[in-house]
Amino acid sequence: MTRVNGSNGKVPARTPPARLESGNLVVVGVGGQGVILASNLVSQVLLDAGYDVKKSEVHGMSQRGGTVVSHVRFGPEVHSVMVEPGSADWIVAFEWEEGLRSLSYLKPNGVALVSTERRIPPAAMLDHRDQSLEYPALGEVPFGVLALDTFAVAGDAAAAVPAVAQTVLLGALSVLLPFPVEAWQASINAWVPRKALTGNLRAFERGRALAPEVRAAEAAARTVARTVEPGPEVVPSASASPVEHDGAKRSRDGVAERLLPVVRIERSWCKGCDICVAMCPEKCLVLDELDVAVFARPERCTGCQLCALLCPDLAMDVLWVPADDLTGWLFANEEDRVRAAADPR
Amino acid sequence: MSLDVVSRPPADVPQGGTVAPEARADDVLAAARGASWPGASAEKHFLRYGMMPHMLCPGCGHGIVLDAMLRALARRYETLDDVAFVAGIGCSSRVVGYVDACTLHTTHGRPLTFATGLKLARPDLEVVVVTGDGDGLSIGGNHLIHAARRNIDLTCVLFNNEIYGMTGGQLAPTTIPGAYTSTSPKGNHEQPFDAARLVEAAGGTFVARAQSFRTRDFEEIFLRALEHKGFSFVEVMTDCTEYFGRTNRLGNGADLLFSQARADVAIEADLAGRPTLQEVPARPVRPVMEMGVLHESRRQTLEEAMGLVEAGS
Ligand SMILES: Cc1ncc(C[n+]2csc(CCOP(=O)(O)OP(=O)(O)O)c2C)c(N)n1
Ligand code: SF4
Ligand code: SF4
Ligand code: SF4
Ligand SMILES: [Mg+2]
């Protein structure tokens, strides 16, 4: 296996390792963007490099612009086809919101290459008269994300077939993987229809020329401290959290931590009115046998705060806690529950 | 006792750098009272923890409004030392008892008169009046129009739940036509007041209407009302689950919140044909009402006229 440097002679500081042991990739987008084709293409490169590769796809509503997700896992021997949340080394997203939505799959120091292309789903329309939208702003780029204006990068390469622009992302991804450029070109040759072939090859090349930016994003994801993290500060108290904290800083061994939402319910204030249960769009909350709200499905919580905003008893707070501590925090809640059940005053 | 509790502004408030790690004095107090919790949002630090949980019924909309008011205050003030809450009598008026500010719980219908005296004696205070539709429009209706006429620099929030909650669900001057209450067993035959337009006509210089359901909107409107110089009036539609909801068989707190969403101009076009909750023809129809800031103007305030504060500031 030959080692690859930047194809254009601008040799970056850190080159990828000669051989990766294993890896997890998540490719997301919406129907018609070529997500499946792209994951086939990457899988081909991996198979040619001698890995065991497993790939899975979800594309239910893809014909009408619905979400399309493909998981690609490789290594000496791969058993499960699914990438677990928090374990993707790379995310390649063809659409901005889909990219942000998939971030829970990313490892704490993984890299997400996200196109700034916007495909706005009908459900995001808040008011049809003033056209107001609920759609994440392009200005706010979360930690670990490299936002790429794929159309601008692709330029005339995508003039004939617009979908070709997203191949820029594969060029950028190729910088992070230790395979020769010829392997990628061969895979593109094998999978892409004739009429779009030259466009795809050129878009790939332009993406690969982004090596300095891509490497910088990778380096930042490995080292940058928490000032650029998503979500607000959380300073857990020593008593409730299983980890020590030191005030404003919240990075472990210099590695920034990903934060996940946790709903803290003050059980002694909750009157079991059912408002949070009915209002939560993700159905995360239930009432227990004492008619007290319980954060039953934390994995589905988006941190939207609707429950806390509409709780008439001010009994809820949405906290953002480091992903590794999540079980500790949920357990802290659970302890409250057990205590309350034992002492129903 | 843990002193590790650090207050944190709500997520949407721009934060300059990182949160100071030192606990604030009121955090220490809150921790000492034993009911604060780690990560509690900023507005919770304005609560009298020892008094919680509050006495409102399950699902009562007044609690949602209280939380939103505290959120707005947390965006404007570090402490509530220079904020006074004045309230009359009623479930709505009762909420000031949970706010860790200077509070006056006065007599039925007279919070605006107490507040007028307080404001003239201490023009430096931010004075917020909390009143109900019974408190502010029946027994206190005259005080309301005269406070508006005088344009005294108060912020009055009227919790409109279309009923007298505290005394057992009697008809209020805001009860919608057809609604059942303990004093209108055959349904209401009277026309309700449009409180916001009443105050505007009487001379109020900031007039708005909001809903407990769209709590973020109310928060923004309340913040603007606080900033306004002159008499600011915010009518906020809330739900009495225990009497209005139950007597009219409108469902639980969540159902009532959804019914607010339906009585909203934003969706008027879609729902004009079927604005009733649960589509039961015999049940009262929540009218579609204008929401948002309905009137805003600037004229001399009473304090300015009396030379108590510098004019034009
Ligand atoms: C002088 C006087 N008259 C009557 C009462 C009885 N009373 C107490 S609260 C209330 C009505 C409160 O209604 P509202 O202001 O709408 O408050 P809500 O409970 O609905 O929030 C009445 C009539 C009283 N306390 N004092
Ligand atoms: S924050 Fe949003 S998603 Fe999470 S529990 Fe509350 S309402 Fe549900
Ligand atoms: S909204 Fe608040 S009071 Fe009602 S059930 Fe949920 S936590 Fe309990
Ligand atoms: S009686 Fe009505 S207004 Fe009063 S606390 Fe209960 S639900 Fe709220
Ligand atoms: Mg009332």
Does some domain include residue A17?
no
- A246 and A214, same domain (yes or no): no
DSSP type of residue B214: S
The pLDDT value recorded for residue A2 is 32
Instruction: Give a yes or no: residue A310 inside a domain.
Output: yes
Buried b (16+ CB within 10 A) or exposed e, B82-94: ebbbbbbbbbbbb
Domains identified in chain B and CATH numbers: 1-40 (no CATH), 45-305 (3.40.50.970)
Q: Let me know: does A146 contact A228? Beta carbons within 8 Å.
A: no
Q: Based on C-alpha coordinates, what's the Rg of chain B?
A: 20
CB A97 within 8 A of CB A33: no
Would you call B185 exposed, middle or buried from its count of C-beta atoms within 10 A (0-12, 13-18, 19+)? exposed
Nearest alpha-carbon partner for B236 in B147, B128, B124, B160: B160
Same domain as A184, residue A281 = no
Distance CA A91, CA A299 (A): 19
Considering only CB atoms, which chain A residues are within 8 Å of B12? none
Are A149 and A274 within one domain? no
Let me know if residue A206 belongs to a domain.
yes
Query: Would the pLDDT of B38 be above 60?
Result: no
Q: Is A275 in the pocket of ligand 3 (CB under 6 A)?
A: yes
Nearest neighbour of B58 by CB, restricted to A233, A273, A314: A273
The residue among A167, A188, A223 that closes a domain is A223
> The domain containing residue A207 runs over which residues?
23-223
Closest listed residue to residue B87, CA positions, set B134, B120, B40, B149: B134
Residue B263 has pLDDT above 70, yes or no: no
Residues A189, A263, single domain; the answer is no
Kindly state the percentage of chain B with pLDDT values over 90. Answer: 63
Q: Which of B6, B41, B64 lies nearest to residue A310, judging by beta carbons?
A: B64
Q: What is the DSSP letter of A81?
A: S
Residue of B nearest to A310 (CA): B64
Of A188, A223, A258, which residue sits at a domain end? A223
Q: What is the pLDDT of residue A257?
A: 60
- Best mutation site among B2, B6, B7, B260 for testing chain A: the one with the most A CBs within 10 Å? B6
On whether both A299 and A209 belong to a single domain, the answer is no
- Token readout for A175 is 């910088």
Residue with the two structure tokens 């009359």: B88
One domain for residues A174 and A267:
no
Residue with the two structure tokens 């409004």: B65
Closest residue in B to A313 (Cα–Cα): B63
Give the pLDDT of residue A118: 84
Q: Are residues A80 and A155 in the same domain?
A: yes
Instruction: Indicate whether B1 pLDDT > 50.
Output: no
Q: Is the CB of A270 under 6 A from ligand 3?
A: yes
Say if residue B209's pLDDT is above 90. yes
Confidence band, pLDDT 50/70/90 cuts, at residue B269: very low
Binned at pLDDT 50, 70 and 90, residue B90 comes out as very high
Domain count, chain A: 2
Question: Considering only alpha carbons, which residue of chain B is nearest residue A292?
Answer: B58
CA-proximal residue: ligand 2, atom 6 (nearest): A307
Q: What is the DSSP letter of A60?
A: T
Report the CATH number at residue A200: 3.40.920.10
Nearest CA to ligand 3 atom 4: A273
The CA distance from A307 to A293, in Å, is: 10
Q: Are strands B126-132 and B155-160 parallel, antiparallel or unpaired?
A: parallel
Q: How far is A310 from chain B (nearest CA, A)?
A: 6
Nearest to residue B134, comparing CAs of B108, B116, B113, B112? B108
> Which ipTM score applies to this complex?
0.83
**A212 plus A97 within the same structural domain:** yes
Check pocket membership of A293 for ligand 3, CB cut-off 6 A. Answer: yes
My answer on whether A194 and A273 are in the same domain is no
Mean pLDDT over B264-281 rounds to 38
Nearest protein Cα to ligand 2, atom 4: A301
Mean pLDDT of A128-156: 79
Q: B272 to chain A, minimum CA–CA distance in Å?
A: 15
The answer to whether position A1 is within a domain reads: no
Does residue A122 have a pLDDT over 80?
no
Residues A138, A275 within the same domain: no
Distance from CA of A280 to the nearest CA of B (A): 11
CATH of the domain at A263: 3.30.70.20
Scan for tokens 């392009």, then name that residue. A138
Q: Mark yes or no for CB contact A269/B8 under 8 Å.
A: no
Chain B partners within 8 Å of A264 (Cβ): 37, 39-40
Partner residue opposite B215 with nearest CB, options A129, A233, A310 = A310
Contact B254 A236 (CB under 8 A): no
